Chain A
Amino acid sequence: MKKTLQEKLAILSDAAKYDASCASSGTTRRDSKAGGLGSSGGSGICHAYTPDGRCISLLKILMTNFCIYDCVYCINRVSSHVERARFSPEEVITLTLEFYRRNYIEGLFLSSGIIRSPDDTMSDMIRIARSLRVEHGFKGYIHLKSIPEASHDLLKQAGLFADRLSINVELPTDSSMKRLAPQKQPDGIRAAMAGFRRNRDASRERSVTGKRPPRFAPAGQSTQMIVGADGANDRDILGTANQLYEGFKLKRVYYSAFSPIPESSAVLPLIKPPLIREHRLYQADWLLRFYGFGLDEITSAAPSGNLDLEIDPKLAWALANRALFPVDVSRAARHMLMRVPGFGARTVQRILAARRSGPVRYADLLRIGARVKQAEPFILLPDWSPGSLIDSASLKARYAPPPEQLSLF
């Protein structure tokens, strides 16, 4: 029997929820004053939040959840009994535009199972994006999940209509990819990412006549790694992420705690998703990208290979490098202030502004919005000195959560 639009939407949004990205920021500024519908650019907007604490910014759906691949961690793999559905291109377009007009979403995040062949699937996705842009004058955000096995030509076309393209590496190491996603080729994924980077770099160069080439995915490319489905430790995961940032200039790497799926495979453990581990990885990722930390600095503070779950990675680094503290807040350089636990990037910016008006005292830090309690052992102020606190053996205990009674069940 033919499925209704409601039934299809239920199946194909349920199938899309394991993709973490919902970003809609960082693209070109556009609006509809000269025609069409929609606007974008600047920071993204989260239009709603579900009880899992995640935001809804985009209509995140699969074009179809039929798939010829057999990746064990995926609910849509060919060997699963999950109910299947397929949207027509018109249905995807109508849903996107009608949701957008009611201010429910910022745009579309379209992904798909692989049907027939990677090229066929990718062309169908591009057809939807092109129709939104060209026929409907849609100026909102479009994120296409690219299929790495599709031809280079198609991937290049996708970038003309999408704001962001992504290709999921899914697993942090090639060996687990081979074991858990046998039809995917790690080399092919990297080649597609490199191709993306070339296309994007080329789109930013003017020709000899000074003409600009057409824009190519102005919000860049991102990827996702599943955490906790294989044996990879945090050092492996962050190492892969760091390579991706440096080698392919990725905008974001998303870490997705492996979460049990209906129709699960016997190969994978049914565990509670490791949410704290996921959180710590994001914190370490931020340190790499915005706080000037090197990969080896973060991993050397975590000798087991995994980040400490009890304290955040910046604090862990500070505790392992106490000789560098306390930092004199009135004199220290920006890069050192950024390393103080309890000081975020914005706090540091405010401290630097406040220093121009005179020395920064304890009460000033509170007004600025620093987490002073956290920072205390690591800073020196005109009216505060940590004394021997920084060398105290029990310093970590000050931050670690109180011990919990182990549960028998």
Chain B
Amino acid sequence: MYRVTLPEMGFQAAWRAAARCLASHAIPPEAVDWADVTLFSGEPIPEGRGPNAVFVPKSFLDLTRSVLCHKDTQAPSQLYAALMRHQTNRCPLHNPADSLTQSLAKMAKSVRRDLHKMHAFVRFHELPSVSGRRKFGSWFEPDHRIIEAAAPFFAKRFADMDWTIATPTGTARFQAGKLTFHKTIAAPNLPEDATTELWGVYFSNIFNPARIKTSAMRSEMPLKYWKNLPETRLIPEMLNAAEQRVLAMHEAVPKEPPKRAIKILDRRESDIKGT
């Protein structure tokens, strides 16, 4: 049995190097243990490139980038199984109805969704800064190990500020234009940010009380994310007041237009006639 221990950070490159080496030696999937931690010590992987050429389509590389982030410890070994099968049979990897292909596609989809939600739901809090750049911090709890995959998006978007995003499985730090990754020691203490209150004002006023659809809200913004989203604290109160607000609209009697309205409309009418 060969054993590969993938590191917590940089596991993408580590998996690719190991898989390429194992495949070139034609080592079958069942002879490799990819588990993060194992009680039984196995043989380390062979050194150097083996005699076999390894074929990998580009679409498979894209797939590995997503699937490897998955929290399922089976992900690396499933990918290696698909890689080895592809060396002798090119069809199944392109067949969405194949069960291994489908299982990988499902993992990739779950990771992509998690990434998308992380790009959407990270909330930055402003921190005091001593350098000329503004400084922000955030704590986010994704489902999968996606901090390395998610951080470049923020680096491109928030290039003119320093920021830190901490997740349970790793921390990304962007300082003076340089992105680095670190082990997370503890969830950071984030101070209250005055802009959060303005955001709450916006969140509760853009909401239309006459069209309640909480199931749509919850399917797109699952409850598990709520504890790190400050605006969700307002939702119970918004829902409570909604019915009353709609009722008030129905009961309100249309009023005479204010005096200035008549003046403005008259002036406009004569303007149009004049031209």
Contacts and interface: CB of A to CB of B under 8 A. Distances in A.
Given A52-B208, A52-B211, A47 B120 contact: yes
Chain A interface bracket (under 10, 10 to 19, 20 to 34, 35 or more): 35 or more
B35 interface: no
A257 B211 CA distance: 9
Interface in A378-402: none
Interface in B190-248: 193, 195-199, 201-203, 205-217, 220-221, 229, 231, 235, 238-239, 242, 246, 248
A39 B221 contact: no
Given A99-B199, A101-B136, A37 B158 contact: yes
Contact of B257 (A79, A183, A368): A79
B125 A102 contact: yes
B228 to A, nearest CB: 12
B268 A183 contact: yes
B96 A51 contact: no
A150 interface: no
B254 to A, nearest CB: 4
Contacts of B246: 260
Give the secondary structure class of B's interface.
helix
Contact of A272 (B126, B153, B209, B210): B210
B157 A50 contact: no
Given A68-B264, A264-B249, A275 B211 contact: yes
A367 B96 contact: yes
A115 to B, nearest CB: 10
Give the secondary structure class of A's interface.
loop
Contacts of B208: 17-18, 50, 52, 54, 259
A263 interface: yes
Contacts of B250: 260, 270
Contacts of B202: 9, 13, 59, 61, 99
Contact of A55 (B98, B116, B220, B252): B220
Interface string A77-112: 011110000000000000100110111100000000
Given A52-B211, A79-B261, A104-B199, A353 B94 contact: yes
B92 interface: yes
B181 interface: no
B252 A368 contact: no
A377 interface: no
Interface string A363-378: 1110110000000000
A230 interface: no
Interface stretch (A201-209, A232-240, A241-249, A354-362): A354-362
A163 to B, nearest CB: 15
Interface string A34-73: 0111110000011111111111100111000000101000
A276 to B, nearest CB: 12
Nearest to B160: A37
Interface string B264-275: 110010000000
B128 interface: no
B160 A48 contact: no
B206 A45 contact: no
Candidate in B123, B134, B158 with the most chain A CB atoms within 10 angstroms: B158
Interface string A258-274: 01111111100010110
Interface string A1-17: 00001100111011011
A388 B40 CA distance: 61
B205 A13 contact: yes
Given A13-B201, A33-B156, 8 more contacts: A16-B206, A17-B208, A39-B153, A48-B121, A52-B217, A54-B211, A98-B198, A99-B198
Interface of B: 91-92, 94-99, 102, 116, 119-126, 134, 136, 138, 153-161, 193, 195-199, 201-203, 205-217, 220-221, 229, 231, 235, 238-239, 242, 246, 248-250, 252, 254-255, 257-258, 260-261, 264-265, 268
Q: Which 8 A-B pairs have the closest CB atoms?
A: A53-B216, A53-B213, A79-B257, A364-B97, A31-B156, A50-B207, A357-B95, A32-B159
Interface of A: 5-6, 9-11, 13-14, 16-18, 31-33, 35-39, 45-56, 59-61, 68, 70, 78-81, 95, 98-99, 101-104, 183, 257, 259-266, 270, 272-273, 275, 350, 353-354, 356-357, 360, 363-365, 367-368
